[in-house]
Amino acid sequence: MARLLTLLPLLAVACSSSSESPAQAPDAGQDAVADTQGDGAPGDPWVVSTDRGPVRGGAAGLGASFLGVPYAAAPASALRFAPPQPRAAWTDVLDAKKLPPACPQGVDPVTKVKPEQSEDCLFLNVWTPKIDRAAKAPVMVFIHGGSFEAGSGSLPVFDGERLANRGVVVVTINYRLGPLGFLAHPAFNGGEKGTSGNWGLLDQKAALEWVKRNVEGFGGDPGNVTVFGESAGAVSVCLHVTSPRAAGLFHRAISQSGTCALVNTPLRDPGTPGLEDSAEERGARLAKAVGCEGADPAACLRAKPVDDLVAAGTGGGIGGKELGFGPAIDGWYVPASPHARLITGPANDVPYVIGTNADEATLWTSALKITTTAEYEAAVRSTAPLYADELLKIWPASAFSSPKVAYDTFLGELLFTCPAREEARAVSARVPGTFLYQFTYVTSFGKLYGLGAFHTSELWFVFGNFTAPLTFPSADEKSLAEAMGGYWTRFAKSGDPNGDGVAWPKYTTAGDAHLSLGAPITAGTALVKARCDALRKLAP
C-alpha cells in the first residue's frame, strides 16, 4: 500500500494544501505572549517553576491555564533551518496569560486573514485541573493539523479547558511549518544526521521532552502522557510512534485522520522511477526561486525575509513541479518508510487509537465537477494512473449513488480509511490496547455544503468547543461531544476508553471491530472491509 501511495499525484494536493475547515479557522485577534513581569509573590498559587524559569498562569474554569510558555529558543537567524535549541533561562516571572503567535504561514484560505505570527513561535499552552505536584494527572499533548503549512496550537477550537475539567492536563503546541519547518537542502547537512529537514518534527519532539521535564509542576504525570493529533498532527503522531528517537516520551497515542502512509518523500533522490522527487530537490528549487544558489546557500536562506520563504514555499509550481513541504524519510528521525515500520516493526508499541471521518475527501473535492461515469474514471486515472484499472474494479461508479460520491469515497478510503484500518490491524497484533473508530456525524454545516462528516469536523466534539461556524450546537451534538470527550480522556488515563455508554471494543484482525461516532454511537465490524482488503491484495 505504501508503494501505491507514492504514485499518487493528487496526494501532494491533499497533503500540502493549506485548506482547513472553519472548525480550525484562526482567531485573528489572538494576543501574543507577554514579556516577563517581575518576581512573583512568595507562595503565589499561580506561579509554577520550570527548568528555564518561573511562569504565572491564571484561572481557567475549574483549574488553571498557562499560555505562551516557551519550550525552545526562537528558531531565527543562525537557528533557522536547525534543530531546536534550549531557551535562555530567565529569573523574573514570565506572564503566561496570553496566547502566543503562530509560526510563519500564509493567509488562511477560509478566513482570508493572516494569523498573528512570528518566527519566535516555539511556545506551548497548558491547561491543568489542579496546580499540585502531587496530583499526577494524566497528560494529553495535542499536535495540530494544517497540512504541515498552517495552523497553531492556540486556535479557539483547541482550547483545553473542557478536557482539563475531566481530570487531565492538556498541552497544545506550536511547531515550525512549511519551508521553515521542513526545508531540506544539502547545505544544511554539515556531515551530521538530523541536520537537514524535519525541523518541525524535531520541534514536536522538543515539546514532548519539555513535558517530560516540567509537567509535574503543573500537576501532570510525566509517566502517563498521551500524544494525540489531527490530520498533519495525526501523521506526526504516527511518525513519533515509529521513531526510535521518541522512545519513552509518551505512553499512549491517538491519530485522528492521518496515518504514516502519507509520508513517502525521501530526503535524497533514491534513483527509483515513479517515486516522488526528494526533499532536497524541493529545497534546491526553493533556494533557486529566492536567489540562494550561490556559494553559501545556507547563509543566504537564513538571511532571507520570512515572507519571501513562506511565499515561495506555498502554492507549488516551482520548476514545474508541486513543491509542498512536509516530513521526509531522513534516515534519522524517520529512519525508513514509517508505514512499513508500523506494519512490521520495530515501533514504539503503545496503546493506540486510530480513526478517520466518513467523508475525509470532501474538503478537497467539493469544487470538482464530476457528473458522469467517464469523468469519474478520468479522475481516478489522473489520481493513480499505474493502478487505475484495478482501482476502478474496487471502486466501480455503479456501486455509488453518483460519480461524485464515487470519487469522494474512493479518495477518502484510499488515502485515509484503508491505511488507518491497515495500521490498526498491524498495531493490534503487537498491542492489545488498539482501538479503531470512524466519525460519522454530519453537522449542520456539513449538511449545508454537502460535505458530510468532513475532514476536521470531529475536532469540535473531541475538545467540546463549538467554535464558528458551529456556534449553536444541537442536543445531539452536545451529547456526542460529551461522549467523545469521555472516550478520549479515559483512554489517556488508563488505555481503555470505556466507561458509561456504548462499549468500544478493542480492535483485532479476527473481530475487525470499530466504533461509529455518530448519533447514535454504535459498535460495528468490517469497516469497508471488502474494498480495503482488495486494496491490500493489490498493493500489500
- Which sequence positions are flagged as catalytic? 231, 360, 455
Helices (H), 278-361: 279-289, 297-303, 306-312, 338-344
d(CA 45, CA 36): 17
- The sheet that has 54-56: what strands, in order across it? 47-49, 54-56, 94-95
Count of residues making up the chain:
540
d(CA 203, CA 176): 7
Report in angstroms the alpha-carbon separations of 387 from 6, 40, 344, 535: 12, 64, 24, 10
Q: Using DSSP bridges, classify how beta strands 47-49 and 137-143 pair: parallel, antiparallel or unpaired.
A: unpaired
> Which three cell numbers, joined as nine digits, stand for 168?
487531565
Nearest to 479 by CA among 455, 511, 510, 501: 501
d(CA 320, CA 163): 45
Backbone torsions φ then ψ of 516, nearest 5 degrees: -95, 115
Element (H, E) at 535: helix 529-538
DSSP type of residue 188 = G
Q: Give Cα 83 to chain centroid, integer Å.
A: 19
Listed in sequence order, the residues at least 6 apart from 328 whose beta carbon sits closer than 8 Å to its beta carbon are 182, 184, 197, 198, 263, 265, 266, 267, 278, 279, 334
**DSSP 3-state of 353:** strand
The 3-state DSSP composition of the chain as helix, strand, coil percent (nearest 5) reads 35, 15, 50
